[in-house]
Homo-oligomer: A and B are copies of this chain.
Amino acid sequence: MGGVLDRIESPADVRRLSETELLTLCDEIRSALVSSVSVTGGHMGSNLGFVEATVALHHVFDLPVDKLVFDVSHQCYTHKMLTGRKEAFLDPSSYNKYTGFTNPDESPYDLFRAGHTSQGVSLGCGLAKARDLLGLSHNVIVVLGDGALSGGEAFEGLDNAAEVGSNLIVVFNDNEMSIAPNAGGIYRNLAELRRTHGMCESNFFRTLGLDYRYVEEGNDVLALTRAFKEVRGIGHPVVVHIHTRKGKGFAWAERFPESAHHIPPACTFSEPSQAKKEQSYQEITRDFLREKMRRDKSVIAVNAGAPSGVGLTPEFRAECGSQFFDTGITEQHAVAFCAGLARGGAKPVFFVMATFAQRAFDQFVQELGLNRSPATVLVFGAGFYDIDATHAGTLDIVMTANVPGITCLAPATSDEYLAMLDWSIDQQERPVVIRVPERVLPGSADAFDPKRPSGWHMRTSGSRIAFLSLGSSVELSMEAAALLKERDGLEATVIEALNYSSFDESMLDSLLEDHALVVTLEAGILCGGFGEKVARYFGPTPMRVLCYGGKKEFLDRVPTEEFFKIYHFTALDIVSDIEALQL
């Protein structure tokens, strides 16, 4: 085998291939993906299912004159291999040279950074309309996954495509599941479309005014090539519905599609249920809720289409029965759904990743804050993580603590966390957001007083300098206080700000008596965050305030330790900064 992939340097090389070479190329890419992703970790299942479609797109269309947009873009590995970045998947040591998503900084063939879902068709509509305004005539192609279809923005985009009216080719990749099994009534229509090979009269896409084609053999590169050639240059929007298999060609991935969606580095491909369980907030939450739900049938766990990232394992979901609800990738709906549940007398607990919660900002304001809906929101993944910029969870404080009517709690220890969760579920007065900490710190729950949910906890009482920290960053406060004592002989005060939506004003005011500096710590961006509110509070007074947290910037896969250094989020840096103030 000469190796077709060896000869592919750019899409132009794919356009020239014969049918036999196309088939060979797909096999080579699939083997490369299985070997390399097994080592590096990454999105395995979604990419294995989309090998043939990507090759066919590059063979038929004239990139980069024609424009290709990936929704969510976690299925872009083959695209990267065909656009000059194959070493990332041939040599695991090169994997980190590129992101796992499309990125215009990497390649002219990548048009957008996209990590959240359901925006692809909207972006495509914009490209199509711009083309029309400028009098150009290229194709605009959008790859949309079936998981992304549950998100309202995808509906908005499809609904608008007909209004734009000109060439727009939506390749709808139907692998019969989202990250988890699909949720939503529309998936019955998709099943009917698959069963009838696209011939049934009832057709979601056509009701939105779109033309429609169906390709059953979504992993057959030649069938796809024919289908794409048919729609190339079409003068109106069309959906090409292709039926693919997630994890295609790799037995383990086909058998455990949810686990195979994204795998860890050096994956052992064990049975998912055999995976080692570490003591984590995910586990702590499951154990607590299992018991709570058993005693109270009105408690319900809600998730928006991404249960694995927040610890809602398939086993736990099954245990919950009707007390679990996956709304699909629909954060807006999920928050309003929780408001409805709460008003109806149930006790909803919404599990959400900080980064995806951004999509429900207006619902936090209107459905939770303004309506005082007693729902509990558990925000996971908030803070500094070594992750793609698209998935950063550093804006959650901005979008919750600044909204009237929402009580925001930041536990430092697991016992505090459980006390807050228990209180929040049963109270009936207000929406509560709990910022689930990164690390599990042991410690007593006494710090949180359900009778005074806006109260803070003073860990150590000192003078001159007070540390005021959110969540598990109290550890760093304690460390800095110890170092301050060692180096300067100062006994600092250390406070856990258990509630970051309001102030324990009597505690703050008491600091004015014998403190000269308040140091705030939070794992989030400082702009619009907690520390700034403290700075404003003390603004008119002689108290100095020094805030630690993140800069307003996008960090792309920066190792945690590294930006702890950049942000002076270490005891030594903090103490040095304090000393430099010469108070």
A residues sitting closer than 8 Å to B (CB atoms) are 67, 69, 104, 111-116, 118-119, 122-134, 150-163, 183-186, 188-189, 201-204, 206-210, 297-298, 300, 322-323, 325, 327-328, 330, 332-334, 336-346, 348, 358-359, 361-363, 365-367, 369-371, 389-390, 395, 398-399, 401-405, 525-529, 531-533, 535-536, 538-542, 544-547, 552-554, 581
Contact = CB atoms under 8 A, between A and B. Distances in A.
A346 B131 CA distance: 8
Copies in the complex: 2
Contacts of A389: 370
Contact of A547 (B209, B404, B536): B536
Contacts of A536: 526, 531-532, 535, 545, 547
Nearest to A189: B207
A345 B162 CA distance: 21
Contacts of A134: 297-298, 344-346
Contact of A115 (B122, B366, B369): B366
Contacts of A156: 150-152, 155, 327-328, 330, 332-333
Nearest to A323: B133
Contacts of A300: 129, 133
A338 B126 contact: yes
A535 B401 CA distance: 18
Contacts of A207: 186, 189, 202-204, 207
B365 A395 contact: yes
Given A395-B403, A541-B544, A155 B155 contact: yes
Nearest to A122: B336
B157 A155 contact: no
A554 B297 CA distance: 33
Contact of A340 (B127, B183, B361): B127
A394 to B, nearest CB: 9
B370 A126 contact: no
A129 B340 CA distance: 9
Given A130-B344, A395-B403, A119 B366 contact: yes
Given A202-B201, A536-B535, A340 B123 contact: yes
21 contacts: A123-B336, A125-B333, A127-B341, A129-B337, A130-B341, A130-B343, A134-B297, A160-B337, A184-B208, A185-B208, A204-B204, A204-B207, A358-B366, A359-B362, A361-B399, A403-B552, A532-B533, A535-B539, A536-B545, A536-B547, A538-B539
